[in-house]
Chains A and B, each alone.
Chain A
Amino acid sequence: MRSFRLSLELEYALIALVVLTLVISIQFDGTSLGLGLSVPRVIAGILCIVFIPGYLLVSAFFPTESSLNIPQRLALSFALSLSMPPIIIFILDGISLPIQLQTILVSVTLLIGIVGAISLFRRWLTPLDQRFLWGLPPIQPSTSRRSIDNVLWIGISIGALLLLGVIGAVILLPEPNASLTEFYILSETGVAASYPNEIMPGASIRFQIVIDNQEAQPMRYDLNIENGDQTIYAADGLEVARGERFQRMVEVRPVDFSQQTLLVFRLYRSGEAVAYRTLRYWIRILPS
């Protein structure tokens, strides 16, 4: 006994609406909430991949109410949907069509359309009293079980809301950046290789020094390059906006002429005595 039943027309209209939402949100590259992501597209996309094709196929195979109950229908719908991708890919690859957004969209829409038409036809032919239709069970009269149901219902609702919140946050919010400043040296050519290895005493070498500010705020840095006991390069009060990068070609002349001399690059947050980031570089000094 069911208190409410979804008509066949409404059910297929809802499915068509989901597919239409997917097509429109992709074709118009719809963005919502100003977050550069189409929420309707995500929801419609998930439904069109993991549920709708299988559901329609199950409806085509089992149009009567008595053949399967709702959990069985859901389980088979999911499994059959998971089995569909290879068929689509075989067809697309088989006729040498590129597998990309448009071809996938067209093939999934076509698949849903064809299977949907077959299932609609089969269910239409099934006598109304035997036809499977979505329904809600009647509201139970008050019993001692009702309080347990209420507790379960409240608990599960809270859990579901929390989880939806988590899912929504993960999908919608941009990934939080760790508070970090990237400090690095590149060779003259701008790669992390081909650095100068050896120089004559008194000669200079060139590096690109980069400070990438991924902190949550604008930063002010001081930069020192030391060799031996001396500071051979200093640049104070380097303002770098949040998400911006400071890049400078620096030419330094080592003053320590040991066979192996060390250049130490120290980056300070302005006003602090302890280095925030440190790099070091070994240079071989050739005999003069």
Chain B
Amino acid sequence: MIERAPTPISFPIRWFLIAIIALALVNYTYLILRTGGALSENDTLALTAAMLSAQEAESILNAPRPYSHGMNYPAFLLEFVELTGLSVKTIQTVILPLVFAIFLPIVAFVTYREIAQSDIVGLFAAFLLFLQPDFLWVTWRGSHEKITWTLVLVLFFVFARTFRLRGQLRTMFSYIAVFYLVALGMINTNMFFSSSFIVAVVLTFLAGRVILAYLERKNTDADKPLIDLHLQRLIYIAAVCLLLVYITIFYLYPPARNSLLSFDRIFDSVSALVFNVDPVADSNGVNPYSYVSTTWISPLTYLALTSFSWLILGTAALTWLVVMWGFWRRRLNVRQNDTLLFLCLAFAAFSIQVVLSAFIDLSGSIGANLQVRLFTPVMLFGVPLAAIGIVTLIKRLHLPPQVRIAAVLVAMLAFLYFEFAAVSKASNEPMLSNKWIFTTQPEQATAIWLHRYGAGGTVWTGVDERYSTDLSVISALQTDDVSKQMVLYFASSLNTDYYIWSELERVRWIRLNLYMPNILLSSRHLIYDNGSTQIYRRPALTIYQN
């Protein structure tokens, strides 16, 4: 499948790698500038609030508002804030995306190169990864996912690397130590994802055993392929990681145990561990499958912006079929293509998890966004498979020079389009998306004012969580005392003490064809105006109201 010819010396690997880093930097810089650094998003809020809570309490383990899925990211943020002296907002929205833009392409390249055993495939796969909108989104926002996926990639790099070690016991031990240090980091970043990762590892092992049993059924040699031994190691890895997850949840990080025990049913707890469900999503009752039609100006727009992802998934699936058929028909040798088989098994394992989670989503038994959470790992392993398929196809096609020029032109145009689609989708481009993820400066000034002069109580913030997210961050920045913080409502919960109405919100209501809340607001006191944003207060109806 992959030609193992060494890369020509004249091939400028380092320049291509730098070009991919430049692409990542351009993408993240665009995303930062597009939102003006005023990203207003749930995960960013949750982790910022967890870090501020830890900073206030001077403890991660005893913080009043911990991030229950893992302490690595809040701890990392806290270190960053303290040592650099920068504000958490600047770090979350500007510095970290740019730092990851430099290192993440290198991580992706070395992992894919190791799995594919090809510089060109490694570079091409890393390049494709930074055109994938969902990956850009999860690694740009202030979420733990930028660390999680970096560590997942490195775990696979280290594991694939050990395939090449024969008789080098000392080096093997070094890799094993590195592997479990990184695994510990991943578990502490998000233990619910880690547990679902372990399930994927077990699935990879089981699928590998079945396939190898079939392929090697007529092999009477005592000498088994090394991949068989490596796959056996997966079960040890799963066991050790499971033990680490157990120790972390039940002994080292109590908030995770509390989160797990908060599920009402055993089934929900098990599902949380297997599928990485977020219990918060459950309470919102959002259906991600109908989400598309309301959050984008049209389903066609969504399809156009995500076409790259579907194309990659389709190509990866096709490559997977061809490769597995090759193994089945013995055109591909397991001994020479062990990492390729491993890649196919991992892709299949994560895909199975996504399919199962989609069924669970639709059954409504637990949370509503499992497939969204598990989509990224499928893409992580789909991208190198697609790269292998495309590179192999290009090498086998012997196009005449004129057609080759035309193909290059088409590829360049496709790149420009997919780049536009990637940053538009990742930034929830306001011209195309109904789900806006930024706030304006007057809105931020209003939020600060409300926390300075507001007397607690309830606040209505608009049609969705866009502004309440920002207000919550400011609330967390102003005070860590939960009792002094305001209770925020949006959508139809109109019976509140304060109402915030902004020019931006008005534009959104026009976009969504909603009736303006003019009648409601006209009977309220208008107590604050900064030109773009206003605050209304409900009149006291009894002498007991203030």
CA distance A71 to B526 in the complex (A): 59
Known A-B contacts A100-B58, A182-B445; the reply to A194 vs B526 at CB < 8 A is: no
Within 8 A of B (CB), among A174-215: 177-178, 180-186, 190-195, 197, 214
* Residues of chain A lying within 8 A (CB to CB) of residue B19: 152, 156
Q: Is A253's CB within 8 Å of the partner chain B?
A: no
Known A-B contacts A85-B79, A89-B71, A177-B441; the reply to A61 vs B527 at CB < 8 A is: no
Known A-B contacts A89-B60, A108-B83, A183-B530; the reply to A214 vs B445 at CB < 8 A is: yes
Interface pair B82/A180, CB less than 8 Å apart: no
B412 CB to nearest chain A CB (Å): 15
Within 8 A of B (CB), among A113-154: 143, 145, 148-149, 152-153
Q: Is A246's CB within 8 Å of the partner chain B?
A: no
CA distance A69 to B293 in the complex (A): 47
The answer, among A100, A145, A185, for a CB contact under 8 Å with B527, is: A185
Within 8 A of B (CB), among A45-104: 45-46, 48-50, 57-58, 61-62, 67, 71-72, 74-76, 78-80, 82-90, 93, 98-101, 104
Q: Is B45's CB within 8 Å of the partner chain A?
A: no
Interface pair A49/B59, CB less than 8 Å apart: no
Interface pair B106/A93, CB less than 8 Å apart: no
Interface pair B106/A78, CB less than 8 Å apart: yes
Known A-B contacts A159-B25, A193-B537; the reply to A75 vs B154 at CB < 8 A is: yes
CA distance A84 to B540 in the complex (A): 54
* Residues of chain B lying within 8 A (CB to CB) of residue A249: none
Interface pair B110/A75, CB less than 8 Å apart: yes
Known A-B contacts A67-B171, A85-B72; the reply to A104 vs B79 at CB < 8 A is: yes
* Residues of chain B lying within 8 A (CB to CB) of residue A279: 526-529
A95 CB to nearest chain B CB (Å): 12
Encoded as 1 (CB less than 8 Å from any B CB) or 0, chain A from 1 to 35 comes to 00000000000000000000010001000000000
The answer, among B29, B154, B523, B531, for a CB contact under 8 Å with A180, is: B531
Interface of B is mostly: helix
Q: Is A238's CB within 8 Å of the partner chain B?
A: no
* Residues of chain A lying within 8 A (CB to CB) of residue B95: 46, 167, 171
Interface pair A145/B12, CB less than 8 Å apart: yes
CA distance A163 to B79 in the complex (A): 25
Q: Is A270's CB within 8 Å of the partner chain B?
A: no
CA distance A99 to B76 in the complex (A): 12
Q: Is A232's CB within 8 Å of the partner chain B?
A: no
A112 CB to nearest chain B CB (Å): 12
Q: Which residue of A lies closest to B148 (CB)?
A: A82
Q: Is B440's CB within 8 Å of the partner chain A?
A: yes
Interface pair A159/B22, CB less than 8 Å apart: yes
Interface range on chain A (Cβ under 8 Å from partner): 35 or more
Interface pair B71/A280, CB less than 8 Å apart: no
Q: Which residue of A lies closest to B104 (CB)?
A: A78
Q: Is A42's CB within 8 Å of the partner chain B?
A: yes
The answer, among A79, A89, A182, A197, for a CB contact under 8 Å with B530, is: A182
Interface pair B83/A104, CB less than 8 Å apart: yes
The answer, among A57, A170, A195, for a CB contact under 8 Å with B525, is: A195
* Residues of chain A lying within 8 A (CB to CB) of residue B539: 197, 282
Stretch at the interface among B128-136, B176-184, B331-339: B176-184
CA distance A100 to B55 in the complex (A): 7
Interface pair B84/A82, CB less than 8 Å apart: no
Q: Is B6's CB within 8 Å of the partner chain A?
A: no
Known A-B contacts A193-B454, A279-B528; the reply to A61 vs B177 at CB < 8 A is: yes
Chain B: residues with CB nearer than 8 A to chain A? 10, 12, 15, 17-19, 22, 25-26, 29, 32-33, 37, 54-55, 58-62, 71-72, 75-76, 78-80, 82-86, 90, 94-95, 98-99, 103, 106-107, 109-111, 147, 150-151, 154, 157-158, 171, 174, 177-178, 181-182, 184-186, 188, 252, 440-442, 445, 449-450, 453-455, 457, 497-498, 523, 525-532, 535, 537, 539-540, 546
Chain A: residues with CB nearer than 8 A to chain B? 22, 26, 37-38, 41-42, 45-46, 48-50, 57-58, 61-62, 67, 71-72, 74-76, 78-80, 82-90, 93, 98-101, 104-105, 108, 143, 145, 148-149, 152-153, 156, 159-160, 163, 166-167, 170-171, 177-178, 180-186, 190-195, 197, 214, 276-282
For the complex with contacts A50-B103, A105-B82, A193-B537, 20 further pairs of A-B residues with Cβ separation under 8 Å are A37-B86, A45-B85, A49-B76, A49-B79, A49-B83, A49-B84, A57-B181, A72-B110, A75-B103, A87-B184, A98-B58, A160-B25, A170-B32, A178-B442, A180-B445, A180-B531, A181-B531, A193-B497, A194-B455, A279-B527
27 contacts between A and B (CB under 8 A): A37-B85, A41-B84, A41-B85, A42-B86, A49-B80, A61-B177, A71-B110, A78-B106, A80-B181, A83-B151, A93-B62, A104-B79, A104-B82, A104-B83, A152-B19, A166-B29, A170-B32, A171-B94, A182-B445, A182-B449, A182-B530, A191-B453, A192-B450, A277-B530, A279-B526, A279-B528, A281-B525
